[in-house]
Structure 1
Amino acid sequence: MKIIKLCALLVLSFVFAGCNSSPPALQDVPETTSRGYSLGAGDTVSIVVYGEPEMTMHFIIDKSGAINFPYIGPLVLKGKTPEQVSDELTTRLRGEYLSKPMVTVSIVAFRKFYISGEVKNPNGYAYEPGLTVGRAIALAGGFTDRADRSDISIQRAGEGELPGSVGSGYAVHPGDIVTIGMGFF
């Protein structure tokens, strides 16, 4: 009899604990630096080859994700980190063209993310490392009077819409579309 009462109390405690909490908003950790950032169409990069001014230049990565680099030809940047591109350029320039090339690849401007719906200035904005939904809303001028602050969704670049609502601390990545729903009065 004691075991049955104990089991009943345990079941009731789980039921009541579940009733008092609402489902949590989805979470994702924002990137705080460009380290590990994968390059893509729309990013602007600077390539510096130390001591070789004719090889130092800026590129805006187009849809193909490739650039045409002097002495090397086509070089794919899309999907690679700046460090990987730097290593590849160093390897490909070593020997035939330069004995000890020193190459630095850095991001000059990130590609855009987009925010639509019930914000004051829906538009595309340049991505910044550490960007969250809350900061994206602030960049867009804040919520309108009709915004449903609990109806925020993100469509990841190249993916479908995430289920459920996301919180203000949720990470926004380049190419994402943040949508703020309309509340009904």
Structure 2
Amino acid sequence: MMRCYPIGRFCFSLTTALLLLCSALVWAETSTAPRSYVIGSGDEIRITVFGQQELTAEVQVSAAGTVQVPLLGTLAIAGKNAADAAQMIAGRYEAGNFLKNAQVNLLVTKYRSQVVAILGRVNSPGRLVLEGPTSLTQALAWAGGIAPSGSERLILTRPLANGRQERTEYDLQQMLNYDAGQQPTVWLRDGDTIYVPNAGRFYINGEVHSPGMYPLDRPLNIRQALSAGGGPTARASDSKVKVFRQAADGSVQELTAKPNDQVMDGDVLVVRESLF
């Protein structure tokens, strides 16, 4: 069964929803996006100086974050964007009395320094080289979207300066819902890892229109789970929804469910028939 992702009043497949969202990010989120690409070790750059063709250089940023610049020698540019690095080089040419009113242009020709990993239940897992501001949903679209067995619960792991890692979970439904309007865009950084876990499963039996097994790919309560099964039939009892849940010791517990109770992986929901 194809999952449907709401955008405004409409509902789209995952691929279409991601493409629409990524297109909207071009204009809707520019105010919150990182301003420009930050140069790092391994990137290849081309330096040109207006009117000074002999000063043109194509170099790779070293592991120490430096490059060799004609007449200036070794300069550290890692951590700067292209415009700031070009301005710094121009200033060095002028300060060293090599040039007056130096006009320097710096272009990143190969992006290699900033990489994120996309793992788990996506259609094309792998490593994505960031070539500019990239959001979590854009990276997910690059990976071909979530596989049929994947969850809509996304896990982002990010390395911190103190050597530890920050782990954050996101709900894809909320990220794709334009009407929510309060979900900020998640911009990726070098070293991030996106993981899409397996979707859980739950079962619906009894007085529902479409009993069977359903993916638990996002948080659901009992009312939402019953809606996935087409809702209760006319013979169903609203007060007699039972949940059979396996405990840690392997035993099966029988619980009386309330509409807002959360569904757990492996739950069996049984809608009883009304006696009246």
Question: TM-score, with normalisation over the residues of structure 2?
Answer: 0.49
Amino acid aligned to 2:197: G
| Contact 2:155-2:196 at 8 Å conserved across structures | yes
Partner of 2:111: 110
Partners of 1:116 and 1:77 lie apart in 2 by 31
2:145 aligned counterpart, secondary structure? coil
Partners of 2:147 and 2:105 lie apart in 1 by 43
Partner of 1:184: 200
- CA drift at 1:115: 1.4
Partners of 1:119 and 1:69 lie apart in 2 by 43
Unpaired segments ≥5 residues, structure 2: 1-31, 176-184, 202-276
Amino acid aligned to 1:74: T
| Contact 1:120-1:140 at 8 Å conserved across structures | yes
| Contact 1:44-1:59 at 8 Å conserved across structures | yes
- CA drift at 1:130: 3.6
| Contact 2:57-2:70 at 8 Å conserved across structures | no
For residues 92-116 of structure 1, the C-alpha deviation after alignment (integer angstroms, 9 at most, x for no partner) is 1124322332111233343332212
> Does residue 1:162 correspond to 2:163, yes or no?
no
| Contact 2:155-2:167 at 8 Å conserved across structures | no
For residues 130-154 of structure 1, the C-alpha deviation after alignment (integer angstroms, 9 at most, x for no partner) is 4111110110111122222113213
Q: How does 1:1-12 map to 2 (within 5 A)?
A: none
- CA drift at 1:91: 1.7
Partners of 2:86 and 2:79 lie apart in 1 by 14
Unpaired segments ≥5 residues, structure 1: 1-28
- CA drift at 1:157: 7.2
> Does residue 1:43 correspond to 2:43, yes or no?
yes
1:105 aligned counterpart, secondary structure? strand
Quote the sequence identity (%): 22
| Contact 2:154-2:194 at 8 Å conserved across structures | no
Give the strand-richer structure, 1 or 2: 2
- CA drift at 1:156: 4.2
Partner of 2:187: 171
1:148/1:109 CA distance change after superposition, 3 Å: same
Partner of 1:16: none
> Does residue 1:142 correspond to 2:138, yes or no?
no
How many residues were matched structurally? 154
1:88 aligned counterpart, secondary structure? helix
Partners of 2:144 and 2:80 lie apart in 1 by 33
- CA drift at 1:60: 2.8
Partner of 1:23: none
Alpha-carbon RMSD across the aligned residues, in angstroms, is 2.4
Q: Which has the higher contact order (CA 8 A, sep 6+)?
A: 1
Partner of 1:71: 71
- CA drift at 1:45: 2.4
1:48/1:42 CA distance change after superposition, 3 Å: same
Amino acid aligned to 1:149: E
| Contact 2:158-2:167 at 8 Å conserved across structures | no
Mean Cα deviation higher: 170-179 or 66-75: 170-179
1:166/1:60 CA distance change after superposition, 3 Å: farther
Partners of 2:82 and 2:132 lie apart in 1 by 14
- Greater C-alpha Rg: 2
| Contact 2:121-2:197 at 8 Å conserved across structures | yes
1:163/1:113 CA distance change after superposition, 3 Å: closer
